[in-house]
Homo-oligomer: A and B are copies of this chain.
Amino acid sequence: MTARVIDGTAVARRVREDVGRGVAQLVAAGGRAPGLATVLVGDDPASEVYVRNKRRLCVAAGMQDLHRHLPGDVDQASAAALVDELAADPQVSGILLQLPTPRHLDSDALIARIPAEKDVDGLTTANAGLLAQGRPGLRPCTPAGVMALLDEYDVPLAGAEAVVVGRSVLVGKPMAQLLLARHATVTVCHSRTRDLPEVCRRADVLVVAAGIRGLVGRDAVKAGATVIDVGIHRGDDGLVGDVESDAVAEVAGALTPVPGGVGPMTIAMLLANTLTAARVQQGLAD
């Protein structure tokens, strides 16, 4: 058996097209085009690539690119002042602070200044609380993207055993909350889990977000399981994930590739969040 490939590139394209239609409808209804303010501090080449992609896809979806660039040696007060300016600007629907920021800055303190309704990365404590309490709010993009993939491939979640490997604030923890909200029985594993393969083998849906290359092998996957690989590592032979994909593909029912799985979904959900934020701010939410 070879696992079905979950094509994140194709799903992400459809999500972005949906967002583009939503933007057009918003404008046709008399609203303003959503504006995304990406904030890049310094000149890290990888961060520049990420931000450039976000800006390009933002424009392609019909949104305003309100990018701001700060010098790498900017002080905390000036960076905070920029966030405050964007928070107050009605043209700005969403604010995304590209991480990591240079070490001398307190990025948590900067994120805390982003109003919850403009927090399109879903990283603020306010949005984490809304998610934990099951209230409406902006969800972190990567876990939201995983949910969109699962839905697109009609993966049953209610009553399913879902196992999340990793407990980061950015991915693992919100992922568990989102799966729980869809009525899965959810287990969270991590570096202190005693027998990781045994726990993972219980999973009908296995989401691996540990940041450890090749952590999950064939022995950790139940036959027919849906496996989502959030990891991304640069190897000698290109990008690879947290899952030993060749071996796991022999037992899993479906598997996301790396690249082309979860990766493209993250930006797509950022755009979806920005549209949602604009609708709410303009009083035109569904």
Contact = CB atoms under 8 A, between A and B. Distances in A.
Contacts of A176: 188
Nearest to A196: B185
Contacts of A193: 159, 185
A129 B125 contact: yes
A201 interface: no
- How many copies of this chain does one complex carry? 2
B186 A188 contact: yes
A187 B185 contact: yes
A133 B177 CA distance: 12
A132 B131 contact: yes
A132 B199 CA distance: 23
Interface in A186-223: 186-190, 192-194, 199
A137 to B, nearest CB: 9
Given A180-B188, A188-B186, A159 B125 contact: no
A117 B188 CA distance: 29
A104 interface: no
Contact of A126 (B125, B169, B186, B189): B125
- Which 4 residue pairs are nearest across A and B when measured between Cβ atoms? A129-B129, A125-B129, A128-B129, A183-B192
30 contacts: A124-B129, A125-B132, A126-B126, A126-B129, A127-B129, A128-B129, A128-B132, A131-B132, A132-B132, A132-B169, A132-B173, A132-B177, A133-B169, A133-B173, A159-B192, A159-B194, A167-B180, A173-B177, A173-B180, A180-B188, A180-B190, A185-B187, A185-B188, A185-B189, A185-B190, A185-B192, A185-B194, A185-B199, A186-B187, A187-B188
